[in-house]
């Protein structure tokens, strides 16, 4: 490494996962062209990397907040581009970051452009923590519930949120821990395949989520104003059913899901309350990468024979946030969101808001994580395309992260909701 060149991460090389950093290089020659690199390893040990070419200014400085990438993993001015453009060498590989106790460690380096594979001129390591100081992480094995509870520091009370991050087996802590950093008490639960849960399921029970909500509400630091529910994909229709059939659900964030109960029948107190809308393989196509486009892979949810799967969200007492990505290739989420909006309006309801993100794909997650174009789908049993243009998708994630917090604070924190109403 050159002793004259410095690579700095400002304001600090250590930060929270959702905080931006300024990547700054100085000590270069005037107008020198260099390659910036980033590399990180996920929780499964898979290496992800990104690179971009930059030209220093007359003072020998490259500032990613100001300077455009001339080529590489992305182009243009993208201050966090080296983070969201991280990609594995193997196709259909999703960045797996689940354990909140392990930070997302990204190693940045700057190289002579002619010798990008050679020694670095300078290096710096960014430690991006999923847990803020003082946030308590408590594994939950109580009754039927298997999950992890995150409690912010302080006496509270805190607005309580149930996180249904994934329908797949196992447990993901990332979104729940990051929401807890923002002042929410969050319980993320596994639906199957975690701890002593069965590896596969043939039906789902709303009683499980009722138990989870009761666990949240009885916590001494929980705000006594009802709970929020956040979801994505298949868990989106579960969130709709929770909001429709269970009490004390005040705010539900539905992200890129369906308006009908999909894949597995839903039971409550021993009786089936929703049938399952199933897949129609005739609507599935194959993309150039070999991943499946399953956007139109469901039977017609409005057909009379599928009426039993449609969730009667007009019965819900709480608020909805419908979030849809226009280039979602997993669900026709814009269609479903539009139909839910139309249905509620037709019935005189105004307990919802809708956000649509152009050029964005299915997996809208907390910001500054690697964009994923496709990965293996456990239910489908094959790689599936998620859609989205990387830059637009990354921008949408930043906006949505702030929108989710605003939505929950407005409808779960009495003072915040009253203040917004006055405005």
| Residues forming the active site | 233, 328, 362
CA distance 101 to 130: 7
Instruction: Give 132's DSSP letter.
Output: -
The answer to whether the CB of 186 falls within 8 A of the CB of 135 is: no
Take residue 378 and report the two structure tokens written for it. 């456990």
CA distance 264 to 234: 10
Reported in sequence order, the residue ranges of 206-298 that DSSP labels E, i.e. its strands, are: 222-231, 249-255, 266-268, 271-274, 285-286, 292-293
Take residue 351 and report the two structure tokens written for it. 């307990």
* Side-by-side strand order, sheet with 285-286: 285-286, 292-293, 382-385, 374-377
Using DSSP bridges, classify how beta strands 382-385 and 222-231 pair: parallel, antiparallel or unpaired: unpaired
* Backbone φ/ψ region at 90: left (φ over 0), alpha (ψ -120 to 50), beta: beta
What radius of gyration, in Å, describes the C-alpha atoms of the chain?
23
Per the document, the length of the chain is 423
CA distance 152 to 134: 7
Q: Distance between terminal CA atoms of the chain?
A: 56
**Which three-class secondary structure string do you get for 48-96?**
EEEEEEEECCCCCCEECCCCCECEECCCECCCCHHHHCCEECCCCCCCC
Q: Which sign does the torsion angle of CA 147, 226, 264, 292 carry?
A: negative
Of 73, 22, 16, 23, the C-alpha closest to 48 is 73
CA distance 180 to 23: 27
CA distance 150 to 322: 25
């Amino acid at each position: 490494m050159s002793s004259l060149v410095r690579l700095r991460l400002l304001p600090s090389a250590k930060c929270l996962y959702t905080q931006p950093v300024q990547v700054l290089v100085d000590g270069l020659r005037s107008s020198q062209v260099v390659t910036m690199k980033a590399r990180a390893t996920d929780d499964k040990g898979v290496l992800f990397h990104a690179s971009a070419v930059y030209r220093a200014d007359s003072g020998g400085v490259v500032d990613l907040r100001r300077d455009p990438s001339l080529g590489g993993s992305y182009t243009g001015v993208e201050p966090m581009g080296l983070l969201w453009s991280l990609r594995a060498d193997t196709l259909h590989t999703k960045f797996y970051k689940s354990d909140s106790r392990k930070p997302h460690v990204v190693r940045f380096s700057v190289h002579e452009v002619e010798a990008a594979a050679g020694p670095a001129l300078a290096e710096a390591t960014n430690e991006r923590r999923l847990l803020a100081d003082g946030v308590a992480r408590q594994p939950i094995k109580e009754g039927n519930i298997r999950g992890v509870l995150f409690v912010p520091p302080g006496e509270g009370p805190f607005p309580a949120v149930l996180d249904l991050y994934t329908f797949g087996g196992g447990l993901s802590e990332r979104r729940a821990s990051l929401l807890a950093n923002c002042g929410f008490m969050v319980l993320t639960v596994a639906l199957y395949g975690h701890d002593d849960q069965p590896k596969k399921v043939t039906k789902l029970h709303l009683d499980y989520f009722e138990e989870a909500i009761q666990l949240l509400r009885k916590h001494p630091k929980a705000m006594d104003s009802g709970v929020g529910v956040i979801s994505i994909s298949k868990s989106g229709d579960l969130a709709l059913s929770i909001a429709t059939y269970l009490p004390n659900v005040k705010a539900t964030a539905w992200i890129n899901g369906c308006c009908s109960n999909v894949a597995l029948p839903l039971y409550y107190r021993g009786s089936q309350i929703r049938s399952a809308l199933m897949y129609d393989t005739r609507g599935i196509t194959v993309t150039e990468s070999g991943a499946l486009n399953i956007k139109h892979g469901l039977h017609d949810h409005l057909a009379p024979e599928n009426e039993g799967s449609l969730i009667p969200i007009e019965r819900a007492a709480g608020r909805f946030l419908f979030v849809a990505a226009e280039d979602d290739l997993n669900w026709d989420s814009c269609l479903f969101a539009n139909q839910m909006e139309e249905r509620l309006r037709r019935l005189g309801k105004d307990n919802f808001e809708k956000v649509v993100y152009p050029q964005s794909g299915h997996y809208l997650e907390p910001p500054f994580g690697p964009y994923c174009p496709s990965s293996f789908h456990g239910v489908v049993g094959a790689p599936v395309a998620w859609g989205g243009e990387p830059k637009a998708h990354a921008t949408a994630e930043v906006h949505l992260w702030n929108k989710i917090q605003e939505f929950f604070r407005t409808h779960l924190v009495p003072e915040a909701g009253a203040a917004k109403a006055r405005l």
